[in-house]
Amino acid sequence: MAEHGIRAQQRERTRLTLVRTGRELFAGSGYAAVGLSAIVRAAGVTKGALYHHFSGKEELFRVVLEEVQQEVGARVAATAGRHPDPWDQLVAGCREFLAASTAPEIQRIMLVDGPAVLGWSEWRAMDAAASARHLRDALTTLVDAGVLPAQPVAPLVHLLSGAMNEAALWLASPAAGPGDLADTQAALDRLLLAMRDPGGGVGR
């Protein structure tokens, strides 16, 4: 029984090592440039050990992406949770998503390679289970409370999530400058205010 438990712990350590190593290599070089041989060599395991846990490089990447998405979602939720008011929670959470997503590792794995490797449909489904879930919950609360005009929430989630993903990609590109995150967050604030008060105008 004890021997079985030790073997299970060893297998889990090997799996965690592969995920950690894969994440470092995917973030540093990009999915396409990283081969299985490089992953197992850096992790100090055999290819057989990798195939014991994952069907191949794509499945390993999927697990890495899920981990990254969950971390970003947790960071957004933690930031939003520091505010008692639901509207302030939405604004703070959206601003934090932009800040978190501009980290090169997050940008490469979550926004660039994620859709390219897994396809948009699977990437959207994973995004919906992570960051987009928090956004949907926040918008639903605000619509139900009458803070936002009564409307279907799903279109709002997709529009706002798409805008923030695109903004995060731009912020992480060479075209963006040091002050662009603050400017983008300010533009996001105006966009959110326009959602709250459609008749008031974005610049009010």
Per-residue pLDDT of the chain (204 residues; tens, 9 = 90+): 466 677 778 889 999 999 999 999 999 999 999 999 999 999 999 999 999 999 999 999 999 999 999 999 889 999 999 999 999 999 999 999 999 988 889 989 998 999 999 998 998 888 878 777 889 999 999 999 999 999 999 999 999 998 998 898 888 888 888 899 999 999 999 999 999 877 654 444
Phi, psi of 30, deg, nearest 5: 90, 150
Residue 164 CA to residue 173 CA, distance in Å, equals 14
Q: What is the pTM of this model?
A: 0.85
Residue 67 CA to residue 23 CA, distance in Å, equals 9
Q: Which of 26, 71, 17 is nearest to 44 (CA)?
A: 17
